[in-house]
């Protein structure tokens, strides 16, 4: 095995998933091509590589690295280059020079042991000092963890996730209990933890191994949307995974139940094994929602018939009998569910309900599961709507300092209206109901035929199927005019019929793609060429949205974003800390209630700044500050957020997003590439959800066979939930 040592001059290719990297490294004699697994490297670092020389048929002589170590520079020039490389967050080229000029060879000791001295430099405050220190220590600790874990088959990306969970305690925790990885670290499976355990000498029939395996199987099963796992299915899968006798599995399952780590209950005609959080959530939701439904309400002093007529006259509409039933149901019931597809009048019904409630002096709060859905609700009703998390987590509104909570920590209101209720999972529903006081009316509005919640549960379906609450199903299409083709075809898809394609003056088109590559090229051409010519007012980046069923593959979101970024935003500049470019379309992937924003155009009476960016919010990169390692993003056309480097993991490119991620949003133009994929992802409710996201134009590109398959395929991941049965059991007991 040979050794070369040099400075990283350029990174030619880097795979963030597995840290595989091809780079140019310069030693005293020449510049070489080296390849291997290199997590957390940056241009300017000095590395000592261990490996062998190989010759590639196309690319010539290369150094194939087996392992490596970082060599800290000893010259002041080398130290400055290292600090300027971007390997330590918070230090760019200008700050690097100032630090070396001020502290010389002592800079690394000062960063590690006398961190506060960094504030002797102008422009470095406590926040930046903490960022520099944390980045320096994290880099060193993660590299040590890598050395320990790589011999057990753990990838660099997994090692980073382990560090994020356990920090500097990672090696000790893994040595003591490797199965903790599958239980507490996202994306690390039982097989990886089991492999480490075997190497550490843990026996196959160890009770700890079997109990950890059982818990992992339940957690893995519930990631597909269930709140419990059928016992017979669990025992079968545990036998195949753990390769131990069935009696050992049952004995260890019983032990976990007796120890209070799991729960075993009869659900319908089947025994189910619950992890405790889901069990507690379903039990709590059952009790709270039945209490709201059975509470005796204060009758409203309103003439509903007269108020409906007044609303009709003012808005020049005439309600259908189903819509009137929904409006009256909200007045007369503690719980009401209004469900229906696009164009069936759900938004108009909400507006009329608001009109009646507010006329009677009631205080109404409105919410939705996502930020974009809440924003759409606000725009449609001209009243404030918040995310459910925002309603529950903040006691004071940043806009007007209005108190939202009563003394008992429940929402201060008489009615709560929630839109896009199909997206609510069991944990969110539990939290919502905890915040609603007795005798408060709750109206849930949604489309039960859309995709179910990403999280566990089938809350809306269970509440409808249990027949315990007032449910109004809207099936008549009221919306006509320009959007009617999209609306009518959505309803055709929902009833198992092929949509009407390429009709004259239609807003619903299908373009054939001969294969995945042809489909990809036609999708890009539509966005960059054909559609902008068709409608000059459409913005190629802001108004067009590509939706895909999945993330991986040629037509998956990951590749689509890479291709579309190059096509729509071709000016490239290499940054040491981010791959984003100015002009990129990006999406926030997690709720961040604390991140601050500033308004670029302040309307009189509005606050100039605030906080909170939410999962699903789409924005546009306006500036990148390499020195400060900040990315500025414009949201909602008037809010600027400066993302520090540590917050960038919550942003991803959004030229293309998954159909799941698009729920609760609407876009002017939607393009959906269609191709054959895994059957459970090629479902009717998936294509139906995607189609209903379009406002002005919908274009399907690809295989008509794939479209037909999706429309006929009603098979989805079966969700095992107990909410419906619990509600029905209680009502049965009340009747008997």
Look at the chain and count its residues. Answer: 736
Consult the annotation and say whether 533 binds a ligand: no
CA atoms within 13 A on the CB side of 110: 15
52 has which bridge partners?
A: 64
Burial level of 643, CB count in 10 A (0-12/13-18/19+)? Answer: buried
Q: Which two tokens stand for residue 290?
A: 């039945």
Give the C-alpha separation, 24 to 481, whole Å.
59
* Token pair of 37 as six digits: 């697994």
**SS3 call for 602:** coil
Neighbours of 43 (CB within 10 A): 18
Angle value at C-alpha 44, between 43 and 49, nearest 5 degrees: 85
Could you tell me if 415 and 441 are in contact, meaning their C-beta atoms sit under 8 angstroms apart? yes
The three-state secondary structure class of 8 is strand
User: Would you say 589 is a known binding-site residue?
Assistant: no
Query: Could you give the CA distance from residue 66 to residue 69 in angstroms, rounded to a whole number?
Result: 11
Q: Write the secondary structure of 82-149 as one string of H (helix), E (strand) and C (coil).
A: HHHCCCCCCCCHHHHHHHHHHHHHHHHHHHHHCHHHHHHCCCCCHHHHHHHHHHHHHHHHHHHHHHHH
Helix (H, G, I), strand (E, B) or coil at 403: strand
Find out whether 82 and 99 touch, Cβ atoms under 8 Å: no
Tokens of 89: 């967050």
Is 345 annotated for ligand binding?
yes
CA atoms in the 13 A half-sphere facing the CB of 697: 19
**CA distance linking residue 226 with residue 455, whole number of Å:** 9
d(CA 595, CA 121): 26
Per the annotation, binding residues are 343-347
Residues marked as binding for ATP?
A: 343-347
């Amino acid at each position: 095995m040979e050794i070369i040592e040099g400075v990283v001059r350029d990174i030619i290719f880097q795979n963030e998933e597995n840290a595989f990297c091809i780079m140019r490294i310069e030693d005293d004699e020449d510049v070489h091509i080296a390849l291997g697994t290199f997590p957390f490297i940056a241009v300017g670092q000095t590395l000592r590589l261990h490996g062998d020389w190989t010759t590639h048929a196309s690319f010539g002589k290369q150094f194939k690295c087996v392992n490596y170590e970082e060599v800290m520079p000893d010259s002041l020039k080398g130290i400055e280059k290292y600090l300027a490389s971007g390997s330590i967050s918070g230090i760019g080229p200008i700050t690097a020079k100032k630090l070396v000029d001020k502290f010389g060879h002592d800079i690394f000791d000062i960063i590690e042991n006398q961190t506060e001295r960094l504030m002797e430099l102008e422009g470095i405050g406590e926040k930046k000092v903490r960022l520099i220190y944390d980045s320096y220590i994290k880099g060193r600790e993660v590299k040590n963890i890598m050395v320990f874990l790589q011999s057990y088959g753990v990838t660099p990306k997994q090692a980073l996730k382990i560090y994020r969970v356990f920090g500097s305690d990672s090696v000790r925790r893994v040595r003591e209990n490797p199965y903790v990885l599958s239980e507490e670290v996202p994306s690390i499976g039982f097989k990886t933890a089991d492999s480490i355990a075997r190497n550490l000498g843990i026996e196959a029939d160890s009770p700890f191994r079997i109990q950890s395996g059982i818990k992992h199987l339940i957690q893995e099963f519930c990631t597909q949307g269930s709140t419990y796992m059928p016992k017979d299915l669990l025992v079968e899968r545990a036998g195949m995974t753990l390769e131990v006798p069935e009696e050992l599995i049952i004995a260890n399952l019983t032990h976990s139940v007796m120890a209070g780590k799991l729960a075993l209950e009869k659900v319908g005609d089947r025994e189910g094994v619950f992890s405790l959080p889901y069990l507690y959530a379903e039990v709590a939701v059952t009790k709270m929602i039945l209490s709201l439904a059975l509470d005796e309400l204060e009758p409203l002093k309103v003439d509903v018939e007269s108020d409906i007529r007044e609303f009709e006259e003012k808005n020049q509409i005439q309600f259908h009998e189903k819509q009137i039933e929904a409006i009256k149901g909200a007045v007369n019931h503690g719980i009401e569910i209004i469900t229906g597809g696009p164009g069936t009048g759900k938004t108009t019904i909400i507006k009329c309900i608001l009109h009646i409630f507010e006329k009677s002096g009631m205080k109404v709060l409105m919410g939705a599961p996502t930020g974009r859905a809440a924003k759409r609700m606000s725009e449609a009703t001209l009243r404030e709507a918040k995310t459910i998390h925002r309603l529950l987590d903040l006691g004071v509104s940043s806009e007007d300092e209005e108190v939202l909570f009563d003394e008992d920590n429940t929402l201060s209101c008489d009615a709560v209206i929630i839109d896009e209720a199909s997206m609510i999972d069991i944990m969110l529903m539990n939290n919502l109901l905890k915040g609603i006081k007795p005798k408060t009316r709750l109206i849930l509005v949604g489309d039960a035929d859309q995709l179910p919640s990403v999280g566990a549960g089938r809350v809306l379906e269970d509440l409808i199927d249990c027949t315990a609450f007032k449910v109004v199903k809207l099936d008549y299409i009221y919306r006509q005019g320009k959007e009617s083709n999209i609306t009518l075809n959505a309803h055709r898809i929902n009833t198992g019929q092929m949509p009407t394609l390429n009709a004259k003056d239609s807003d619903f088109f299908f373009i054939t793609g001969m294969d995945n590559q042809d489909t990809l090229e036609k999708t890009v051409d539509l966005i960059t060429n054909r559609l902008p010519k068709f409608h000059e007012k459409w913005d190629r980046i802001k108004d067009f949205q590509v939706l895909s069923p999945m993330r991986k593959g040629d037509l998956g979101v990951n590749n689509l974003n890479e291709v579309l970024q190059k096509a729509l935003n071709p000016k490239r500049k290499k940054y040491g800390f981010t791959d984003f470019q100015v002009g990129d379309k990006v999406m926030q992937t997690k709720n961040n209630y604390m991140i601050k924003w500033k308004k670029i155009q302040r309307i009189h009476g509005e606050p100039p700044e605030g906080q909170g960016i939410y999962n699903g919010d789409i924005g546009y990169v306006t500036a990148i500050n390499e020195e400060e390692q900040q990315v500025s993003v414009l949201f909602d056309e008037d809010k600027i957020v400066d993302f520090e480097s540590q917050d960038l993991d919550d942003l991803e490119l959004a030229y293309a997003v998954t159909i799941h991620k698009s729920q609760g949003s609407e876009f002017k133009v939607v393009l959906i590439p269609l191709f054959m994929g895994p059957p459970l992802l090629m479902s009717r409710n998936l294509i139906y959800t995607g189609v209903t996201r379009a406002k002005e134009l919908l274009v399907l590109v690809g295989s008509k066979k794939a479209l037909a398959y999706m429309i006929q395929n009603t098979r989805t991941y079966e969700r095992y939930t107990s909410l419906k049965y619990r509600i029905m059991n209680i009502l049965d007991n009340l009747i008997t």
